[in-house]
Amino acid sequence: MKTIQGPSIHLAQFSDVAAPFNDLPSIAAWAAQLGYKAVQLPAWDERLFDVKLAAESQAYCDQVRGTLAEHGLVISELTTHIFGQLLAVHPAYDVLCDGFAPPQVRGNPAARTAWARERLLLAARASRRLGLTEMGTFSGALAWPYLFPFPQRPPGLIETAFDELARRWLPILDACDENGVNLCYEIHPSEDLHDGVTFEMFHERVGGHQRCAILFDPSHFVLQQLNYLDYLDIYKDHIRMFHVKDAEFNPSGRQGIYGGYQSWENRAGRFRSLGDGQVDFKAIFSKLTQYDYAGWATVEWECCLKHPDQGAREGVDFVNRHIIEVTDKVFDDFAGVPVDAAQLKQLLGIA
């Protein structure tokens, strides 16, 4: 067994135009002061990281690592969620997703997809230069609007969507393989890869690609009422990244999983800061430790009530309290006695 690494913190929800969250040295100092050991870098946020330069320049990557090292930090992983989202966009979301893309490709879905593909390839090369082995992402969504449709889905619709999704991702998975990087899809509602079945459908279509992996975030399973502990048992060999994020689900006679189009604070399913929700993190850390998960435990703050500063402060202690330092002893060794082969037979009543 291995001791889980941590705590790390995902910087995507903290990056801002105001100091100390608007450049890498300042936000690194902030994270280190709170007690984090690593940061997860969003590859799309140019205030903190230039993914194109990182793909091309080892000197730049060494500079980034050096900046973090000055504060006692390392990079746990790069994340590419925005790029992954833009690789597969249903037309219903074109206008909203254009906001994630640079001006020159807005209003042109094909150009936007090509830009996202290029960025994912750059991030794979940047990960290698940074000495990283895991990269987080979203799958994007072509079929999501048909999750619970009326009229009913026509035969072949979902199969066609997943065939196309696999076609778009296979070259990127191959590039990740060339760079020694596992591509970890965050299993997430609103993505086509949102549960175990959809991951299996995709995994089969990419030929069981050795770089096709999972970013496990139990909060998304609470919101869709999926058993996240069973999920760990089933998909333990695919899980290479871990977001420590809490959530709660409180259905009523007025609303359930779909949330009634309400704001986050008024939904039955809500993201919460660590310890404020319903996720059984003791069981999760126990299972991940038992299954030899060797990666990082990364705090991802998302809460409809608590301020991010408080969430970040409390997250350090929460992860530290849940990380299990694996034992190198068996607890009942003190009672063991040496037994030879003849005595073994005697114990079993074998003549």
- pLDDT, one tens digit per residue, over 61-118 is 999 999 999 999 999 999 999 999 999 999 999 999 999 999 999 999 999 999 999 9
User: pLDDT exceeding 90 applies to what percent of the chain?
Assistant: 95
- CA–CA separation, 249 and 201 (whole Å): 27
Contact (Cβ atoms closer than 8 angstroms) between residue 123 and residue 75: no
Q: Which of the four pLDDT bands, split at 50, 70 and 90, describes residue 329? A: confident
- pLDDT, one tens digit per residue, over 255-294 is 999 999 999 999 999 999 999 999 999 999 999 999 999 9
- pLDDT, one tens digit per residue, over 156-182 is 999 999 999 999 999 999 999 999 999
DSSP 281-330: HHHHHHHHHHTT--SEEEE----SSS-HHHHHHHHHHHHHHH-----SS-
Whether the pLDDT of residue 337 is over 90: the answer is: no
Please list, in sequence order, all residues whose beta carbon lies within 8 angstroms of the beta carbon of residue 237, skipping any fewer than 6 positions away.
none
Q: List the one residue out of 166, 165, 143 whose CA is nearest residue 154.
A: 143
pLDDT value for 332: 75
pLDDT value for 59: 98
Q: Where are the alpha helices (DSSP H) in the chain?
A: 24-34, 51-56, 58-69, 81-87, 94-98, 109-129, 157-178, 196-205, 219-223, 228-235, 281-290, 308-322, 341-348
Alpha carbon of 164 to those of 36, 158, 161: distances in Å? 40, 10, 5
Average pLDDT, the chain: 96
Whether the pLDDT of residue 325 is over 80: the answer is: yes
Whether the pLDDT of residue 334 is over 80: the answer is: no
> Can you read off the two tokens belonging to residue 194?
């949102």
- pLDDT, one tens digit per residue, over 120-149 is 999 999 999 999 999 999 999 999 999 999
pLDDT value for 86: 98
Domains and CATH numbers, the chain: 5-348 (3.20.20.150)
Place of tokens 């965050």: 186
Contact (Cβ atoms closer than 8 angstroms) between residue 33 and residue 27: no
- Would you give the DSSP letter of residue 32? H
Burial class (CB in 10 A: 0-12, 13-18, 19+), 254: exposed
Phi and psi torsions of 299, nearest 5°:
-70, 125
Whole-model pTM: value is 0.95
- pLDDT, one tens digit per residue, over 214-263 is 999 999 999 999 999 999 999 999 999 999 999 999 999 999 999 999 99
Q: Which amino acid is at 126?
A: A
Whether the pLDDT of residue 307 is over 90: the answer is: yes
DSSP 134-182: EEEE---BSSGGGSS-SSPPPTTHHHHHHHHHHHHHHHHHHHHHHTT-E
pLDDT value for 351: 76
Contact (Cβ atoms closer than 8 angstroms) between residue 245 and residue 274: yes
Place of tokens 């001006």: 103
- CA–CA separation, 253 and 251 (whole Å): 7
